[in-house]
Amino acid sequence: MSATQRRSLPDRRRSREIFAKAEKVLVGGVNSPVRAFRAVGGEPLIIEKGSGQHLYDADGNALLDYVCSWGAILLGHAHPAVSAAIADQAQRGTSFGVTTELELELATLITIAMPFLEKVRFVSSGTEATMSAVRLARGITKRDFIVKFQGCYHGHADSFLSQAGSGLATLGIAECPGVPQALAALTLNVPYNDLNAVEQIFAQHKDKIAAVIVEPVAANMGVVLPRDGFLKGLREITRKHGALLIIDEVITGFRLHYGSAQQIFGVQGDLTTMGKIIGGGVPVAAYAGRAEFMDHVAPLGPVYQAGTLAGNPLAMRAGIATLKELSKPGLYEGLNALAKNLAAGLQKALKDAGIAAQVNSIGSLSTIFFASQPVTDYTGAKRSDTKLYARFFRDMLQRGIFLAPSQFEAAFVSASHTSADIDRTISAAADALQAIAAQPSA
Ligand code: HOZ
């Protein structure tokens, strides 16, 4: 049987047993809701190991991975240089709770790649980075409101859980119980790509908005690109009103090239948040900006933020090794060319199957929306036929290809994927889409 023919993962008995046990001691059998596959059906995966572009489940089934730890893995799983750095550091100690030269080294690599950043504070997750950046913006401006965009996701801190993308969009959670109303009221949501709405919200809340936080490419409602001038418009509006612009590069940092999305779109935020890739698959995130802003953070300033494991040496070693690999000439050119072929191939497969859909893509990020109109915001993303996406996801998984288990996430290509992998994926998608077109309600 060819790799592209429809088939079930041959045996899932062990995975099934593990998940059944996990459900008894872990909430929903998972440690993050998006892993539960609730929106796409099918059985959640239990992964035993990863190597390059593949994951291997507990039954030994190989999966071609386009989730790549939600974008944290750019080099591929268990990259030799990253694994060696982690193993070496493990021999020297895993946490000291005081500064190491490694923190200086990773911060220096980041500020060289993104020269508009002068000072970095490492934390352990993207949520901590965005939450701390918002606190800092509030501390500097002495204002309380923040503006975010519908369908963007900035982690799970209280301020970000209204009209958010990612797992909240996946599970249909519009507002999160447990977030005090008084705090939720300080978050103002506007449609992505809509500068008029941003202007209006500033007019309504004159001199009260501390910051606008934005994903420069939205990747948590599926991939949605910024319209021409959108990010620059945000820059002008925030500057005019004395608010800070926080650019959340947790997904886009080092994803599109060796640097930030801000350099690609010709805009500079006041604060930048990062995560995922800068830790090479080990928990690292950061917020950063010019010294005039960052020096408000304790111990230099009064805005408090701390962490026992912040700047953790294992994580720093993984991040340093990752960035050194990523800086090698040609890496992004090759990766982005592969991803471009994938997007084009998927577009053709959809057209050939006569299925109305949009493939939104940039660099190695992409999403298929089963929607007839271009998707430029959360309203458009929600118009996508999520049942069709779920069917496509399951059909692809049966063919050994692991896409994001939600319409409202991105597919990630890694530097380990090959053109043979891309061809195989396109061919599997063509088969799956033809089957869907022949029997839409199967
Ligand atoms: N930012 C990721 C989803 N878009 C996080 C994955 C998770 O929620 O587990």
- In tens, the pLDDT along 240-296 reads 999 999 999 999 999 999 999 999 999 999 999 999 999 999 999 999 999 999 999
Query: Burial level of 329, CB count in 10 A (0-12/13-18/19+)?
Result: exposed
Report yes or no on 45 lying in a domain: no
Q: How far is the CA of 126 from the centre of ligand 1 (A)?
A: 9
pLDDT confidence of residue 3 = 41
245 in any annotated domain: yes
410 lines ligand 1 (CB under 6 A): no
Q: Which residues of 26-62 are buried (b: 16+ CB within 10 A; e: fewer)?
A: eeebbeebbbbbbbbeeebbbbeebebbbbbbbbebe
pLDDT attached to residue 4: 40
The rounded radius of gyration (Å) of the Cα atoms in the chain is 21
The count of domains in the chain is: 1
Catalytic site includes residue 276 = yes
The boundaries of the domain holding residue 299 are 80-326
C-alpha 277: how far from chain center: 10
pLDDT at 2 over 50: no
pTM, two decimal places: 0.96
Domain holding 272: CATH number? 3.40.640.10
Q: Judge whether 279 lies within some domain.
A: yes
Query: Which listed residue (153, 192, 287, 389) is catalytic?
Result: 153
Does any ligand 1 atom lie closer than 6 A to the CB of residue 215?
no
- Within the chain, how many helices (H) and strands (E) appear? 15, 14
Residue 230 lies in a domain: yes
d(CA 167, ligand 1 centre) in Å: 7
Does any domain span residue 154? yes
Instruction: Check if 228 is active-site.
Output: no
Q: Is 389 a catalytic residue?
A: no
Q: Would residue 127 count as lying in a domain?
A: yes
Residue 166, in any domain of the structure: yes
160 within some domain? yes
Specify the pLDDT at position 6: 41
Going by pLDDT thresholds of 50, 70 and 90, the confidence category of residue 442 is confident
Ligand 1 centroid to residue 438 C-alpha, Å: 33
